[in-house]
Structure 1
């Protein structure tokens, strides 16, 4: 993601900081409040972990479905 180059990224953690595989669970935001996780999902650059519960799970799953429907 070229638009991130040189910008500050802010992390916001979920209620659990790590999943059972020790992956960090966090949400990325730019200073202008752009939600990077959502952007990556909409662009089809990342997949959603459906085996772990987290705050935006349903929202991310719906974004994935919408992204696939558009392509």
Structure 2
């Protein structure tokens, strides 16, 4: 599994925010994207990012996460 959150984080500047979404062209699916939420929570606990928004589909699956880079 790709470390999607880490890839987005490395491309961001401190203070900027970005949406993390599954990218079908890279083989991501909404069900496989659910593990990214755990990755993002861990990064937030480490103080690297802040989680702004978590968007869910009607069935409860996460389809987008907005983060802000803190360091």
What TM-score range do you get, normalising by the shorter chain?
under 0.3
- Greater relative contact order (Cα < 8 A, sep 6+): 2
TM-score (norm 1): 0.27
TM-score (norm 2): 0.27
Bigger helix share: 2
